[in-house]
Structure 1
Amino acid sequence: MMPRLGKKYELEVEEISRSREEYQSEAYRAAGLPPAPAVLVEDEVAGQGPGISEEGVEAVIRRHLGLPPLKS
């Protein structure tokens, strides 16, 4: 999903993958990052958990770019 949306909106996409132990560590929680899996657009959590939707992430991207919402 993210590579496709990055290409569509000409955005740099950074994917970060860590071990389960690292995500559950005190240092990770202290960093203030959302529990994995999550998608962030700048500092906003655009989606989190198993219910991450492409439509929701795209809506956040469009808002950050100053674009109007997509028509349903």
Structure 2
Amino acid sequence: MTRVEAEYGGWGVGSVTAMLCVVALLIFLPLGIGPGPIQPPSFSVLLIFPLFMAAILLFLFLASNTKSR
């Protein structure tokens, strides 16, 4: 293992950006529920969260792949 590979560990810009997006969604998405009685979310809203998390997982996997560089 070279010195550059040994020093690469940790969070990069993409990881921090992805984490901030997840935190922002977890904070601000419930605010969209609005006043009044709470109703269950629609099916499309239920699909947004797992699709977004899968996209982040794929992005982080591809960004951390050092063999292609």
Report the TM-score when normalising by structure 2: 0.28
Which protein is richer in helix relative to its size?
2
Report the TM-score when normalising by structure 1: 0.27
Which protein is richer in strand relative to its size?
1
Rg comparison, structure with higher value = 2
